Amino acid sequence: MTETSKIEVAIIDYGLGNLFSVRNACHRVGLNAEITSDRGVIDKADAAILPGVGAFDVAMRNLEELDLTRSIKGFVDSGRPFMGICLGLQLLFSESEEFGVSRGLNLIEGRVTKFPTRNNEEKKVKVPQIGWNRIFKSTGSHKAYDNSPLKEIEDGEFMYFVHSFYVEPLSGERTLTKTKYEGIEYCSSIFFRNVFATQFHPEKSGEKGIAIYSKWAESVKKVGSDQC
């Protein structure tokens, strides 16, 4: 692979996900992105994205069959920018209760939980959540927020969600934003070290979502310039 054709972003393909919309968002902000399940391509990329829509246990099985779990963990350990989207956020956690308990990548301690059928007021909860909802800075996350790809996104901005499960980090320090749905408050994004992951879909969230990709691209470009 020549320097001019170097892949900046590896979009990890494990058979589930909104891959092309993610690639299009990367291209819009000037990133050279490739959809791939090739471990060699992933390992050499400046940054990686783990998208996903679907069942947790099927996703983990596909990742294991493609021998991608080690590549993902190694990539995160390398310190290079890593983004998770929707199911890609959930897979980073220790386990999910979807279809029984399934083990995740365990890069973040915590579990993935389904929205209850009724909220604290005993009102029926519509599942899945589909549509626009607001993200709010988590208590104590203001410093992290200002250093994250959400830096230029106003507190309370609307983003696009499609999900039936949500994450519960064991440590609140991992939580970047929270969202309320049907009276239930949950973690809607996380940020720690080189890992940024969202329950919402930035690539489906209009210009505000593209602004998130643009800020994330700055960290990707920095990796590329450091390697020159």
Bridge partners of 190, per DSSP, are 175, 197
185 is a catalytic site residue: no
For residues 206 and 225, give the distance between their C-alpha atoms in angstroms, rounded to a whole number: 29
On the 0-12 / 13-18 / 19+ scale of CB atoms within 10 A, 80 is middle
For residues 156 and 217, give the distance between their C-alpha atoms in angstroms, rounded to a whole number: 23
68: left (phi > 0), else alpha (psi -120 to 50), else beta? alpha
86 is a catalytic site residue: yes
Q: Catalytic: which of 8, 98, 157, 203? A: 203
Q: Are 161 and 200 in contact (CB under 8 A)?
A: yes
Q: Catalytic: which of 8, 157, 163, 201? A: 201
Bridge partners of 102, per DSSP, are 96
In degrees, to the nearest 5, what angle opens at C-alpha 176 toward C-alphas 122 and 59? 75
Question: Cβ of 72: how many Cβ atoms within 10 Å?
Answer: 23
Q: Are 48 and 80 in contact (CB under 8 A)?
A: yes
In degrees, to the nearest 5, what angle opens at C-alpha 12 toward C-alphas 7 and 16? 145
Q: Which residues contact 226 (CB under 8 A, 6 or more apart)?
A: none
Q: Catalytic: which of 8, 86, 157, 187? A: 86
26 is a catalytic site residue: no
Tokens representing 209?
A: 């979502």
Active-site residues, by number, are 86, 201, 203
